[in-house]
Structure 1
Amino acid sequence: MFDLEPATTEMSRLVRGVDTGGLDGPTPCDDWAVRDLLAHVHQFVDVFTTNARKGPLDPPDGLVENWRTVIPAALDDLARAWSQPSAWAGRTSAGGIEMDAADNAIVAVEELTIHAWDLARATGQAFAPSDDVLAHVEQFFVRFSSDTGDDGPFGPRGPLPADADRLDRVVATAGRDPRWTVRGRG
C-alpha cells in the first residue's frame, strides 16, 4: 500500500493552472488538444476511483463544463479511495486487462504522472514529481514493459537527451520526447 495523494495533488495543481484560452493547444499526446487530455484525466481518475471501491464503471464522456473544480475534486476522491485497505485487495482491471488491485494502483500512479508531465508541458507549467512517485512509475515499467527491453509499455521509447535526469528517463520510457515543448523541441 502506498499513498496516491502526492500524485493527485500535483495533477490538481496543474489542472487548476490551465488557462481556459489554451484548451485547444497541442499536447505531447498525438492528436490530443489540452481539452482532450483533461477529459482523459477525468475519465481515468473516475475509473481508478471506481476500481478502488470495486464498483461498476461509468466514466464521464468528454470535458465537463466545470472541469476546473470537478477534476480536482475527483482527484481528491481518488486519493481517499486508495487510502482504504480494501482498495488494495482483490482483482480489478485497467484498459481491459485483469490485474491485482495493487498493480492497478501502480497503473493509476503511472497515468497520473505521465499525463501530469503532458499537461505541464502543454501549458507551460513546472512539474517535478517526488522520487517516491517516480519509483512507482518505474515499477510500472518493470511490470508492464516488453521482455526484450527495446520498447516501453506504450511502444518505442522516446529519445533520451545526453543530460537526461530521472524524470526524462521515465518520460522517454513512456514513449515521449523529454524535449517536447509547445513550440517544438527545447
Structure 2
Amino acid sequence: MTMTTPLDLGPAVATTNRVVAGVRDDQLTGPTPCADTTVAALLDHVHGLALGLRQAALKQPTGEPVAAAETLPTDWRTRIPPELDDLAAAWRDPAAWAGESEAGGVPLPASWAGRVALNEVLVHGWDLAVATGQLYEPDPAAVQACLDYAYEFAAAAPEGRDTIYGPVVPVPDDAPVFDRLLGLTGRDPSWTPPN
C-alpha cells in the first residue's frame, strides 16, 4: 500500500478510447455488465471519472460523482477520449502518486487513487466493449497492477469493496489474470448482452 512508483495509464486509456469510438448510437440504451446501467450511463460515468480522477492526481477536491444516461454530453464521442488522455497525463507526474488525495469525495492515499483511476479505466473499458460487441485486449501490466490492487483493497477495506463492486464472481484459480480481476470486481468474464 505504500506504492509511489507511477503506473502508466496510457495503454489502458488508449484501449478504452478505441472502445468509446466504436460505440454506435443505437447501442446507447443497451445493458452493460454493471447492474442497471445502460451504455449511455456508463459512458457518462467514464466522462465523470476522467475528470474527477484527474483532479485526484492534481490533489483537487473531486466531490461525489453522479452518472446517468440523461446527463451524457451530446459531444461524448469527441469529449471523452481527450479527457481520458488528460487523466493519463496527470498520473504520469510522480507527484500525483505522493501523499494524500481524494477520489469520489473519499480521502485516500494518492497511490491508491492512482490505482483506482487505472482500475476504473481498465474495467469500464471492458464493460463498454462487451456491451457493444467489441474486442478488448487489456494491457497486461495494467491488469496485474489492478489485480494486486483488488486483492489489497478487499483485504484492507472489505466493507468498502462491497459498496463499490457487486458480489465476487468465482472464477478458477488458474483462470487468466484478467478474468480473475473481473471476478473480483463483481463481473462474470463470460457476460454477454441478453438477446
- Which residues of structure 2 form unaligned runs of 5+? 1-5
TM-score calculated relative to the size of structure 2: 0.85
1:40 maps to which residue?
A: 45
Instruction: Report matched runs for 1:36-75 at 5 Å.
Output: 36-57=41-62, 62-75=71-84
Q: What is the count of residue pairs matched by the alignment?
A: 183
Distance 2:75 2:172 in 1: 38
1:77 maps to which residue?
A: 86
Q: Are 1:167 and 2:178 counterparts?
A: yes
2:100 maps to which residue?
A: 91
Q: Which of 5, 14, 19 is 2:10 aligned to?
A: 5
Instruction: Give the partner amino acid of 1:173.
Output: L
Deviation at 1:29, TM superposition (A): 0.7
2:133 maps to which residue?
A: 124
Distance change (3 Å), C-alpha of 1:156 and 1:56: closer
Deviation at 1:69, TM superposition (A): 0.8
- Which residues of structure 1 form unaligned runs of 5+? none
Larger relative contact order, structure 1 or 2 (CA cutoff 8 Å, min sep 6)? 2
Distance change (3 Å), C-alpha of 1:166 and 1:92: same
The percentage of counterpart residues that share the same residue type is: 41
Deviation at 1:26, TM superposition (A): 0.7
CA contact (8 A) 2:62 2:104 kept: no
Deviation at 1:139, TM superposition (A): 1.9
- Considering fraction of residues, name the structure with more strand: 1
Q: Are 1:156 and 2:161 counterparts?
A: no
Distance 2:166 2:75 in 1: 34
SS at match of 2:62: coil
1:137 maps to which residue?
A: 146
